[in-house]
Amino acid sequence: MEWTNIIFAVIVFAVLGGAIGALLAIASRVFAVPRNEKAEEITEVLPGANCGGCGYSGCAALAEAIATGKAKPNSCTVGGSEVAEKVAAIMGIEAEHTVRMRAQVMCSGTKDHSKQKYDYQGITDCQSAMQLGGGSRLCPNGCLGLGTCVSKCPFGAIEVRDGVAFVDYNKCQGCGVCVAACPKHIIKLIPFNAKHWVGCMSVEKGALTRTYCDVGCIGCRICEKNCEAGAIKIDGFLASIDYDKCTGCDVCISKCPRKIIWSGTTQARNPVIKL
């Protein structure tokens, strides 16, 4: 090999590299996209989990939407009021009050309490099970326990125990992805510090609910009558709690004949909420 070869190689590559470098440098100037500074600041403040709970593809997309006024500063459910305030400060507007939420699976029908229509052995996915007569569970509003919400949860906060999905409140960020994923629509977002909730979504008549499940709400109105704060209402044979009115007195828990009003602070069935 002659030494000129080496010189040529060096020169050619130097020119090639220099040309590409110069091209990119010019391109970065010519093709520069005006960036939204506010959007970048907001992206810094957002949690960065990219969970998609806000309905945008990620935190950067939400920041862009907030900066251009398409979304509200409190659109991030995960960040809660803290983030909402920071975002509002960047945008120079007053933050609306936000309440931290958590997901709650409104079903108490574990395997030994509820009846099955048939033995489901298909794909372990609630959507697939729904195709087969609405799932194997007799109750049309019961948790199928196949874990579609578990796989969708970006925070790993849900697990299936005894055929019913459970949310670990200390991991749940209240993004609401599971609420949208559940084909039975039995996951609800409730205020993080809601003390009590009714662990059932059955709106059928009491007698019918009894045939489905040992722990379904039969609409007996005992909780409604006994609630001193007037926070419980029966609507279509299903009790529901107004979380703003609930004082957490525990009376409904002790009175409920079906034992399906649960407390996040006292009972061991679910992980205890750290308030």
Partner 1 sequence: MTNILLLMFSAIFIENFIFSKFYGCCPFLGVSEKPDTALGMGMAVTFVMTVSSAATYGVYQILAMFGLEYLKTIAFILVIAGLVQFIEMFLRRFIPALYSSLGIFLPLITTNCAVLGAALVNIQNGHTFLESIAFGFSAAIGFTMAIVIFAGVRVRLRGANPPKCFKGMPLALITAGLIAMAFLGFSGMSIG
Q: Which residues contact 208 (CB under 8 A, 6 or more apart)?
A: none
Q: Which residue has the tokens 């926070």?
A: 231
Q: Which of 14, 16, 132, 272 binds partner 1 (CB under 8 A)?
A: 16
Residue numbers 166-225 binding partner 1 by CB under 8 A: none
Find the part of the chain contacting partner 1 (CB under 8 A) among 26-34, 95-103, 206-214, 235-243: 26-34
Q: Which of 27, 93, 132, 272 binds partner 1 (CB under 8 A)?
A: 27
Residue 8 binds partner 1 (CB under 8 A): yes
Q: How far is the CB of 241 from partner 1 (least distance, A)?
A: 36
Residue 250 binds partner 1 (CB under 8 A): no
Nearer to partner 1 by C-beta: 3 or 31? 31
Nearest CA-CA partner of 209 in 133, 104, 107 = 107
Q: Which residue has the tokens 């919400």?
A: 149
Q: How far is the CB of 21 from partner 1 (least distance, A)?
A: 8
Q: Which residue has the tokens 């609910």?
A: 209
User: What are the phi and psi torsion angles at 165 (to 5°)?
Assistant: -75, 140
Residue 3 binds partner 1 (CB under 8 A): no
Q: Which of 93, 123, 132, 272 binds partner 1 (CB under 8 A)?
A: 123
Q: How far apart are CA 172 and CA 100, in angstroms?
A: 10
Find the part of the chain contacting partner 1 (CB under 8 A) among 120-128, 215-223, 240-248, 260-268: 120-128
Return the H-helix or E-strand segment holding 233.
strand 232-234
Q: How far apart are CA 114 and CA 143, in angstroms?
A: 10
Residue 55 binds partner 1 (CB under 8 A): no
Q: Which of 14, 23, 132, 272 binds partner 1 (CB under 8 A)?
A: 23
CB count in 10 Å sphere of residue 225: 10
Nearer to partner 1 by C-beta: 27 or 132? 27
Residue 28 binds partner 1 (CB under 8 A): yes
Q: Which residues contact 262 (CB under 8 A, 6 or more apart)?
A: 108, 196, 197, 198, 199, 253, 269, 270
Nearer to partner 1 by C-beta: 19 or 93? 19
Q: Which residue has the tokens 């110069």?
A: 22
Q: How far apart are CA 108 and CA 165, in angstroms?
A: 9
Q: Which of 40, 41, 82, 125 binds partner 1 (CB under 8 A)?
A: 125
Q: How far apart are CA 27 and CA 198, in angstroms?
A: 60
Q: How far apart are CA 27 and CA 76, in angstroms?
A: 36
Q: How far is the CB of 78 from partner 1 (least distance, A)?
A: 22
Residue 9 binds partner 1 (CB under 8 A): yes
Q: Interface with partner 1 by CB under 8 A: which residues?
A: 5, 8-9, 12-13, 16-17, 20-21, 23-24, 27-28, 30-33, 122-125, 128
